[in-house]
Structure 1
Amino acid sequence: MAYNAFGIPVTTETLERMSEYVGKTITHKDRAKVALDMKNAESKDVNAHQFVEQLKERYGNGVATLCLIYNATGDPLTYITSHDYFDHILYSPYAYTEIREPNHFDNTVWGVISDKMEKSGIHCEDVWNGCWSGVSIRDDTTTVYEGIMTLQDVAKFAP
């Protein structure tokens, strides 16, 4: 799994350089809104897509899901866990997202998640504790999973 970031992070300092935020107290919600508004700035989206496509080319023609997650939360994200459903969703792509508290997935029964995933279809979104996550998946010869994580109050993207 590759861990790569594209573009310049949206920080308090980023907003302080923007005319609409000069002299204003900058909040977590402000950073999240600007991050979501700048999702495609500086060709971040294009560069990220090209990167995962080139990564796939290096690994050959096997089964693969290319994952792109965009962080518009206003703060860093922490990668916690994954579960490999290899050979279980090959012919029916599903998009599923779930946001919960830290350690929630430590004792997860993955069959329950699998059942939710199969019911979700190709678009899914979740809201919990003021956070919003939306994902969509498309399938041709390689599945592409794209997600956006942000705050519930600034979510504009609807899968």
Structure 2
Amino acid sequence: MADQSVFGEPITQEVLMTIPEYANKVRMDRSVVSTQWIDKDGKEDDVTEYVRSLKEEWGTGVSTLCRVYNGTGERLTFHLSHDWLGHIYKTYPPVIENGQWGGFLHVKPTGAAEGSEAAVVYRGKNKNGEDADWMLCWDNPWNRIPYDNKAYAEINRAGYFDNIDWKTIEDSMEGGGRQHTAKWEGCVAEVQTESDTSPIYEAKLYLSTQDT
């Protein structure tokens, strides 16, 4: 039986999360803390060790050791992937929670002297709590004498990359360099890759603390 001497519905955390202004602030707070704790408890070393173990398990050849940090304040879920050259070894992480690193290995085509070139799209939220897709791309060519590795990213509304012209994305990536920063609706993706035949490709995803 309810206490007859108190009045009104209790304002709990669950209630506050239904208010967009509060929910967005909480999301930003989670993003800020997660970016500050990017290597808490040695998790950055752990994901690096994991992708290197995948490489050792897979064997010799061109491959890309990928690590993705979720500092967006919300869960990221795998949405789609696209291969220009090669394929994923095992699987992409289906979910990367806020404050977690995700690791995976992308490898050259079996039995071919070719590179590792692909894109993966994860779905999360933008600064306003709307669904957003984060596309992360890498180009790791087999013949690195005339070319070097490339890193690229784009962010857009949910579903934007479902029917994208992948040749246009590839051209944009190949016109860039080993580092790239993408921004959209308060979302930021910083990507970079080493210059090596089996480099570490790193993506850090977070929300901007700026108003724009």
TM category (shorter chain) comes to 0.7 to 0.9
Q: How many residues align?
A: 130
Amino acid at match of 1:83: H
Deviation at 1:38, TM superposition (A): 0.2
CA distance in 2 between partners of 1:30 and 1:59 (Å): 39
The counterpart of 1:142, out of the listed 198, 201, 204, is 198
Residue-by-residue CA offset, 1:30-50 (whole Å, 9 max, x unaligned):
100000000011001000000
Identity of aligned residues (%): 35
User: Which structure: greater strand fraction?
Assistant: 2
Give runs of aligned pairs for residues 127-138 of structure 1, distance below 5 A: 127-138=183-194
Question: What is the TM-score normalised by the length of structure 2?
Answer: 0.58
The answer as to 2:44 corresponding to 1:45 is yes
What TM-score results when the alignment is normalised by the length of structure 1? 0.77
Which position in structure 1 is the counterpart of 2:98?
none
| 3-state SS of 2:151 partner | coil
C-alpha separation between the residues in 2 aligned to 1:29 and 1:102? 19
Looking at structure 2, the residues matched to 85 and 63 of structure 1 have their Cα atoms a distance apart, in angstroms, of 14
Highest RCO, 1 vs 2 (Cα 8 Å, sep ≥ 6): 1
Equivalent residue number for residue 153 of structure 2: 97
CA apart distance, 1:99: 0.7
CA RMSD of aligned residues (A): 1.6
Structure with higher Rg: it is 2
Distance (Å, rounded) in 1 between the aligned partners of 2:173 and 2:165:
13
Q: Deviations over 1:74-103 (max 9, x none)?
A: 110121122223235412210001111111
Deviation at 1:120, TM superposition (A): 1.9
Match of 1:108 in 2: 164
Structure 1 stretches of 4+ with a deviation exceeding 3 A read: none
| Structure 2 gaps, min length 5 | 1-12, 14-24, 86-113, 116-139
Q: How far off is 1:153 after superposition?
A: 1.4
In the alignment, structure 1 segments of 5+ residues that lack a partner are 1-11, 13-25, 155-159
- Give the helix-richer structure, 1 or 2: 1
Q: In structure 2, how many angstroms separate the alpha carbons of the residues matched to 1:152 and 1:119?
A: 26
2:58 paired with 1:59: yes
